[in-house]
Amino acid sequence: MDEVLKFFLEYKDMIFIIVLSVFLGIEVISHVPAVLHTPLMSGSNAIHGVVIIGAIIVMGHAENTLSLILGFIAVILGTLNVVGGFVVTDRMLEMFKKKKK
């Protein structure tokens, strides 16, 4: 039990962020119309591409060839997620906009 309490204290800032973000995530999309389910999913898909930052950090401090190679692949995959996700979402939303005129 002590361990758990110590863990909480050590990471309390991040635990706060996590818990508040959970509620925020629920709140932010709770009234989304069905029309936008697909773009929303694809947009949030792009947002979790933020993992790319981790890949950059890891690659930026790679100490041997293996981690350089793995980091290289990780950065490519992360970029795919980010760029692909945002571009696909934009393409979908562009079509919604077009017919408004």
Q: Map the footprint of other proteins across residues 18-57, applying CB under 8 A.
A: 18, 21-26, 28-57
Closest distance to other proteins from the beta carbon of 13 (Å): 9
Closest distance to other proteins from the beta carbon of 5 (Å): 14
List of residues 6+ apart from 84 with CB closer than 8 A: 46
Closest distance to other proteins from the beta carbon of 10 (Å): 7
Degrees, nearest 5: CA angle 40-96-80? 45
Neighbouring CB atoms inside 10 A of 100's CB total 5
Indicate whether 12 belongs to the interface with other proteins (CB under 8 A): no
